[in-house]
Structure 1
């Protein structure tokens, strides 16, 4: 029940509404308990006294009780349901905010569909119990204990028959509740798998169609849903048996009461009105007993779903601010990398003892074969990850000693895979600087050679780019990303193969813009373009996670080491490409 207590904390900001709703519920429940007493008198007046005037008064009294019950039940339902929706909305927002505190490694290790499933399917299951349990518990407790007190006063012998029902229901609830909890967790996990497959197919639909793998993906999705269905089928079997069994026990008890009570009426021990009232109270008492059993089963399902959600909530970001972290002052641009090591897996180092010092304003080209660790190095420089050993210092300040946000505000990145949001072009560029005026945005777009193609679109800067920018070409997306980086005006710039998606004409214009942007800024570039490498102040050559060579173009060519080989191969490739174009 630990997780359920954590869920109830979500209701604490709405104590006033819940207290008022509880008072309304108490009034409605007490009114419900009073009705059988009036019905008892009404039946005796009709069948024994035969008093017309008193019958009319009692009928009006019962109608009044029903009306009071209507008013207070409506108020209770409104207050509790509204609080439930508000609390769940707050919980979704809280979970979403928490996701933003987690490190990049969390998202690398988990599939997107799984996280989406936790935010949707699991929280929907939790929603069904968060206020329903306290309300039902209060309502049914009043009916149960109030009904027992009244019928004990009326006839203690008949009360004993009803209380025999309680232990039977408890055994039923505990037995089936545990099974339902286990199945609920299992179903949520399997739904997460199917959600992941759905998300992957939507985002990778071009790949699926290109490789003609619709049949394979249909089978994957169908198998995942079928697996989920089999678990749901087990839950249905248990639930189908559980509900009717509770009803059978309750109705059997009512039948015994009716037989025994009828016998008492025939013998003259009780009046007909007392029998009717007792049967009504027996029904009122049997209802809570059945509700408690069913409620227990639902709570187990909710707790099963909450386990996965709180697993995320309890996860802490591996890269986070230290308690005494200070604000990063304005960065001048000196970067010191001191014997850093890093791995994604303990048994495989990706970065191995790299050392270098970069002066402010220098442009650094990172060169090396695929898998050398270039992208990992710039992620460490951006502090998406922390080194497992060694230290990175900016202007002599250790990165781990400063607040993440204050550092990230001064560093810009144009990633290898251009990432755009599904809104307008204007919104995507403005993302770098909230509140920027349109003139600033247009200037950034012009500097990135994006303004002309933007103005050629029907809606201009208000053009919707589609999910992940699918409505734009690769080159257009790249230029929007560069415009975004230009608008941010960072002190340190990271270009991860930023020009690889541009045609030759655009590349020249973009290169000019980037040259202007990099003036006075420390810049790290992962690039395959020879022009970029030539213009770099320093070239760092990496291989298998190590820094194997360092220097400018001329120095490295003289060494005839790895850089010489890579450069020669690149030059030959360009010559071959040119010859192919001329034929």
Structure 2
């Protein structure tokens, strides 16, 4: 996806830290995979030796060492990936702020301040909390699930096949729920942006609101938007809750069915008791990550909506662009001329039409007209806050 490739460009300066965190995450998954099989072999050995608990003592020390190693790797993983995640958010926000500073003033007419604030602060935070962490969790959890599946087939392929009906259902559920969550998240983030705009307007316009006794009206406006935001967010959470509940039921069905078939295999002498314990331990180890994969997938789709909104803002084109042959102006005397200047903020909606004037240095001119007549628009063209749609604006002949 284009957005992911663009996001990878922001991660490139932190390749070393990201690679170190991912390697540590893989080692955490590998450490998890070793324990169930070792426990099964230990049980079979104790049964064969008729209660020789020296094997148990050795196994306990080995398992303890594995968990210590896993904890160290987990510390490295969390530390490095936290650094990468927070640097990514900081860089995205810095880039967004630089881009906003280059906007011409007409962009602030089309983009409400609440929308800009929401995309710069909240959506960038979603990238770190949901997408980056979610993708790392998807990778490590996916490796764990793949490792478990391989181990299950090596131990008892018949029992392993029984688990795949559940996995297929989980994949279908992930696709269905993920699409709905991303669409709902886009709507919810737009609602938050609108809510932020209302709050900013109420704070900056507090004096006017008080003067005209408009507090009840503003409270009602905010309340309506707040309820819409609640409904969108609650809808997303209900979808995720339904997904988690469905996964839990499917996992339970798969585990019960495998236990039933596994005990029959042990009774028939086709597998050992230790192998069944290892198999069930692997299955239990994979079930929570399998459910987590769906949750991570849903959360990453939720964050994708935020990424699209961020890059949409970063890609806003500049309307006031410096010409290739532009010259640096020196000290100005202040001779301002308008030659047949027309200006429109939107196509067909003219703020100024065919304005021609000549103001010499030291000359004072009053610009008079009703609200909306174009007084501010005319003045804003002089420092080139906007480019005139037609005609020329000259200062000292340039």
TM-score (norm 2): 0.94
Question: Do the aligned partners of residues 130 and 265 (structure 1) sit closer, same or farther apart at CA in structure 2, a change above 3 Å counting?
Answer: same
Task: For 1:62 and 1:348, locate their aligned partners in 2 and report how far apart those are by CA, in whole Å.
Answer: 75
What is the aligned partner in structure 1 of residue 71 from structure 2?
70
Shift of 1:113: 1.8
What is the aligned partner in structure 2 of residue 22 from structure 1?
22
Q: Does 1:347 align with 2:343?
A: no
What is the aligned partner in structure 1 of residue 304 from structure 2?
303
Q: Deviations over 1:327-380 (max 9, x none)?
A: 333334333322211122333322222223344x32332332224433211100
Shift of 1:323: 4.0
2:25/2:77 contact within 8 Å kept: yes
Task: For 2:184 and 2:342, locate their aligned partners in 1 and report how far apart those are by CA, in whole Å.
Answer: 44
Matched position secondary structure for 2:270: coil
* Number of residue pairs the alignment of both structures matches: 396
Q: Does 1:4 align with 2:26?
A: no
Task: For 1:73 and 1:97, locate their aligned partners in 2 and report how far apart those are by CA, in whole Å.
Answer: 36
1:7/1:130 contact within 8 Å kept: no
What is the aligned partner in structure 2 of residue 92 from structure 1?
93
What is the aligned partner in structure 2 of residue 292 from structure 1?
293
Task: For 1:309 and 1:131, locate their aligned partners in 2 and report how far apart those are by CA, in whole Å.
Answer: 15
Q: Deviations over 1:123-164 (max 9, x none)?
A: 222222332133112212221222222221111111111222
Matched position secondary structure for 2:131: coil
What is the aligned partner in structure 2 of residue 61 from structure 1?
62
What is the aligned partner in structure 2 of residue 557 from structure 1?
none
Question: Do the aligned partners of residues 322 and 153 (structure 1) sit closer, same or farther apart at CA in structure 2, a change above 3 Å counting?
Answer: same
- Which of the two has higher C-alpha Rg? 1
* Misfit runs of 4+, over 4 Å: none
Task: For 1:47 and 1:26, locate their aligned partners in 2 and report how far apart those are by CA, in whole Å.
Answer: 33
RMSD of Structure 2 on Structure 1 (CA): 1.8
Task: For 1:269 and 1:352, locate their aligned partners in 2 and report how far apart those are by CA, in whole Å.
Answer: 91
Q: Does 1:151 align with 2:176?
A: no
What is the aligned partner in structure 2 of residue 367 from structure 1?
367
What is the aligned partner in structure 1 of residue 314 from structure 2?
313
Q: Deviations over 1:72-104 (max 9, x none)?
A: 011101110121011101111111111111110
Q: Which runs of 5+ in 1 are unaligned?
A: 398-583
Question: Do the aligned partners of residues 354 and 25 (structure 1) sit closer, same or farther apart at CA in structure 2, a change above 3 Å counting?
Answer: same
Matched position secondary structure for 2:321: coil
For 1:246-257, what aligned pairs fall within 5 Å after superposition? 246-257=247-258
What is the aligned partner in structure 2 of residue 561 from structure 1?
none
Question: Do the aligned partners of residues 357 and 211 (structure 1) sit closer, same or farther apart at CA in structure 2, a change above 3 Å counting?
Answer: closer
Task: For 1:255 and 1:59, locate their aligned partners in 2 and report how far apart those are by CA, in whole Å.
Answer: 28
Task: For 1:185 and 1:196, locate their aligned partners in 2 and report how far apart those are by CA, in whole Å.
Answer: 17
TM-score (norm 1): 0.65
Shift of 1:181: 0.9
For 1:127-276, what aligned pairs fall within 5 Å after superposition? 127-276=128-277
Q: Which runs of 5+ in 2 are unaligned?
A: none
Task: For 1:327 and 1:22, locate their aligned partners in 2 and report how far apart those are by CA, in whole Å.
Answer: 50
1:42/1:59 contact within 8 Å kept: no
